[in-house]
Structures are given as structure tokens and as C-alpha cells.
Amino acid sequence: MSRTIVIGDLHGCHEEALALLDRVGVTREDRVIFAGDLVDRGPKPRECVELAMRHEAILGNHEEKHLQQRHRAAEKLSPDHLRTRDALGPEHFAYFESLPTLIRLPEFNAAVVHAGALPGLALEAQSPYHLLHVQCVSPPSPKSFWPSKAPAGFTFWTNHWRGPERLIFGHTVLDRPLVTEHAVGIDTGAVYGGGLTAVILPGWELVTVPSVAKVPPKGEVAQYPVHGDVRCFS
Ligand SMILES: [Mn+2]
């Protein structure tokens, strides 16, 4: 039986991606979807993009940023961003431009998004901003905050999202996969040493392979009572 395998944020973790595909025994019958943020932070951004080009992917906020800053002067870029940009060619930027912001999986009443969605709005009405960036919200306000910066009353979007689709998402680094009735978070922080996670449909089986990469997070590592224990890196 063919499967749909959705894989969390690679951030240059090509070795882990190959290990995960090997672990799940991927075949040509399977559909593989990368949930965005292929590049930056980790060691092999170009290889990750080329791997995704052989399967399916959605746009992450890091790919969005590379498109936005493609022609910005090098001295105005972070060293990490510049390292990725230097590793990519025109074909990779054209690929980023071709990526959708969500992939619907109607056969599972599900969809793949990078960050999540603004609760109370149908998927077709979502803005790219929310699909690529949403974290802590207080509906119906369209504002979203990082967990470490969220005012009182703003909590992680999965606490508010009622579907009907079950959203598979990355973007927010979790100390373990977050599984609710209408959301499944699979960014376990591969580039920070937390492992690379896939969810495999139709059974919603979770598989995590250990990280090789151990890039230190830029800011403090903190625990937030968002939904279960959500660990966020600023
Ligand atoms: Mn992201």
C-alpha cells in the first residue's frame, strides 16, 4: 500500500533526511512531502533542496526569506543566510518560487502547512503570513507572537484550531511531536540535536531518527506551557 510520509524541518540536515527515508523504507510508491524550512542553520542546504526537488515540499519561512532577500547586498545579510544563498543556484530559487504554501490531503481530512493556521478561518482564507509564521494567537485577532513574547491570553494556535482539517506542521521546535485531534507538530529540532521526525499516513505513525547536527540555538532554550511541553528556540 502506498503511504504519504510528511517530514519536518530539515534546516540543512541532509544526512538525517537520508537516514529517515532509509528507516521508513521509502519506495517509489510512497508520496514524500517536506514541510518547509529546508535550508539555513545546518550543514547541507543545497543537498536538502535537491532532495526535496525529487519529492514534494511546501514553502517555509526560511525559503520565503531567501526569495525576499535574494538581491540584498551581502553585507546586509546574516552570515548563515549568506552561506545558504552562496550554496544555491538560480534553479533552486526558481524551485522556491514554485512551492505552494500548503498541500491538502483530502483523503486523510488533513493538510500540510509550515507553521499552522489562524483559528476560525477556513484554509482557503488563510494568509501566507499565518501559514508560514503563526505561533501564539488569541482569535479573532490576526496577531501572532513567539511563545517567549506572547502577551497574556495568547496561546499556541493548536489550542484554538478546530479543523475540520488535521494540520501537519513544522516551524515550532518541539521536544517531542505534538499530537492533538486537529494538529500534528513534527519539528523536533533536527538541526539542534533533537532528531528528525516524520508522520506516516494513513496510520499517523511517528518516526524519529537521531540528529547528527548539533547547532547551538541562538537564544535561550526555554520550556513553555503551550500545549504539553513545547520547547522553543528564539
Ligand atoms: Mn520555520
In this predicted structure, what is the pLDDT of residue 134? Answer: 95
Residue 201 has pLDDT above 60, yes or no: yes
Instruction: For residue 79, say if its preceding peptide bond is cis, omega within 30 degrees of 0.
Output: no
Task: Give the mean pLDDT of the chain.
Answer: 91
Q: Ligand 1: distance of its center to the CA of 134 in Å?
A: 10
**Mean pLDDT value across residues 39-52:** 97
Q: Ligand 1: distance of its center to the CA of 39 in Å?
A: 10
User: Cα–Cα distance between 221 and 153 in angstroms, integer?
Assistant: 22
In this predicted structure, what is the pLDDT of residue 215? Answer: 80
Residue range 3-23, pLDDT digits in tens: 999 999 999 999 999 999 999
Structural domain spans, the chain? 4-135+160-218
User: Cα 35 to the chain's mean position, in Å?
Assistant: 5
Residue 75 has pLDDT above 60, yes or no: yes
Share of the chain above pLDDT 70, in %: 93
In this predicted structure, what is the pLDDT of residue 218? Answer: 65
**Mean pLDDT value across residues 89-109:** 98
Which helix or strand (DSSP H or E) is residue 52 part of? helix 45-53
Q: Left (φ > 0), alpha (ψ -120 to 50) or beta: where does 228 sit?
A: left
Q: Which three cell numbers stand for residue 67?
A: 526569495
Q: Which of 3, 11, 5, 4 is nearest to 195 (CA)?
A: 11
pLDDT confidence tier of residue 175, bands split at 50, 70 and 90: confident
User: Cα–Cα distance between 56 and 195 in angstroms, integer?
Assistant: 21
Q: Ligand 1: distance of its center to the CA of 89 in Å?
A: 21
User: Cα–Cα distance between 107 and 104 in angstroms, integer?
Assistant: 9
Q: Ligand 1: distance of its center to the CA of 1 in Å?
A: 31
Q: Ligand 1: distance of its center to the CA of 217 in Å?
A: 14
In this predicted structure, what is the pLDDT of residue 152? Answer: 87
Reported residue count of the chain is 234
pLDDT confidence tier of residue 146, bands split at 50, 70 and 90: confident
**Mean pLDDT value across residues 43-71:** 97
Q: Ligand 1: distance of its center to the CA of 26 in Å?
A: 25
**69 burial type by CB count under 10 A (0-12 exposed, 13-18 middle, 19+ buried):** middle
Residue with the bigger pLDDT between 175 and 181: it is 181
Q: Ligand 1: distance of its center to the CA of 37 in Å?
A: 5
Against a cut of 0.85, is the pTM above it? yes
User: Which amino acid is residue 226, in one-letter code?
Assistant: V
CATH for 4-135+160-218 is 3.60.21.10
Q: Ligand 1: distance of its center to the CA of 209 in Å?
A: 20
